[in-house]
């Protein structure tokens, strides 16, 4: 029986409450941000904006690249059958399932200069002259501490997405390539990687958006310090609105953040499409 116009109207009617709620939750804040935004003339002369954007872009690029590489590696391991695979897959998800604030507090303890685990381990292994390494007090150390914590938490997300895509690749393709003499590395680059491109694109876009807007992890771990060296655009917006009570300029910074995210996503789509057409 073919669906009628009445059936289509009924589906929209059933979905209307959920759509209205989504519009209320998403469109109203966007409208208020546009209405309240002011002080755009301050943006070119804002001495903090460019360093904050550089830190945000560097954090996004480094974390997403590491998470993608590690995610592919873990996915290649987890997609293979072995004893206890179900338990290992569940265990891998634990870092991603933990609340970010709780995880950041744990990493703050791990990086503590006085009793942190990492400093003590490096000292025992002869990699450091002292166990008291000021991870969160040194600008460079603090940045890489934030990167490590973010990679530890979100690599499982990337791995699970890629593993699901790998599991859907027909085994016949690998068998045919093996018969033709292709080794594991060649099979990965000729079969696995090309077929993973759509999933990689989606994963990278999602992770880039999340990393660009990261707030809670860095807020708990370093608070944007030391000296603002780990301050991202999200933390800068927070300080502008809530600490300095400059709501209009904070909304303007939010629109800058949204524009950067849009350009980033569009750039990834263009690069991926160009690579597919090449």
pLDDT, position 217: 95
Specify the pLDDT at position 278.
60
235: CB partners within 8 A, 6+ apart: 52, 215, 218, 219, 224
CATH 1.10.3720.10 placement within the chain: 44-277
Rounded CA separation 170/104 (Å):
40
Amino acid 238: pLDDT? 94
Tens-digit pLDDT string for the chain (278 aa): 566 666 677 788 888 888 889 888 888 888 888 888 888 888 889 999 999 999 999 999 999 999 999 999 999 999 988 888 888 888 888 999 999 999 999 999 999 888 888 888 888 988 888 888 888 988 888 999 999 999 999 999 899 999 999 999 988 888 888 888 888 889 999 899 989 988 898 899 889 999 999 999 999 999 998 888 999 999 999 999 999 999 999 999 999 998 988 888 888 778 777 766 66
> What CATH superfamily classification does 44-277 receive?
MetI-like (1.10.3720.10)
Considering only the C-alpha atoms of the chain, give the largest distance between any 2 of them, rounded to a whole number of Å.
77
Token match 């469109």: residue?
27
pTM (global) more than 0.95:
no
Instruction: Give residue 147's pLDDT.
Output: 96
d(CA 206, CA 94): 19
Q: How many CB atoms lie within 10 A of CB 223?
A: 15
What does the pLDDT read at residue 106?
93
State the DSSP code for 239. Answer: I
């Amino acid at each position: 029986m073919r669906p009628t116009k009445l059936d289509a109207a009924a589906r929209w009617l059933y979905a209307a409450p959920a759509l209205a709620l989504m519009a209320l939750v998403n469109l109203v804040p966007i409208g208020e941000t546009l209405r309240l935004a002011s002080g755009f003339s301050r943006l070119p002369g804002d001495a903090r904006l460019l360093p904050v954007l550089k830190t945000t872009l560097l954090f996004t690029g480094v974390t997403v690249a590491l998470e993608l590489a590690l995610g592919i590696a873990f996915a290649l391991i987890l997609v293979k059958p072995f004893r206890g695979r179900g338990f290992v897959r569940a265990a891998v998800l634990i870092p991603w399932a933990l609340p970010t604030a709780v995880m950041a507090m744990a990493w703050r303890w791990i990086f503590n200069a006085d009793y942190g685990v990492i400093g003590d381990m490096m000292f025992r292994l002869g990699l450091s002259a002292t166990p008291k390494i000021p991870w969160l007090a040194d600008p460079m150390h603090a940045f890489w501490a934030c990167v490590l914590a973010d990679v530890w938490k979100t690599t499982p997300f990337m791995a699970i997405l890629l593993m699901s895509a790998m599991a859907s690749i027909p085994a016949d393709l690998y068998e045919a390539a093996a018969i033709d003499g292709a080794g594991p590395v060649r099979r990965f680059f000729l079969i696995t990687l090309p077929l993973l491109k759509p999933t990689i694109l989606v994963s990278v876009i999602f992770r880039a958006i999340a990393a660009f807007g990261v707030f809670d992890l860095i807020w708990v771990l370093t608070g944007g310090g030391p000296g603002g060296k780990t301050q991202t655009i999200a933390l800068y917006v927070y300080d502008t609105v809530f600490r300095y009570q400059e709501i209009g300029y904070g909304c303007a910074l939010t629109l800058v953040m949204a524009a950067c995210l849009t350009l980033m996503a569009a750039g990834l789509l263009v690069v991926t499409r160009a690579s597919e057409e090449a």
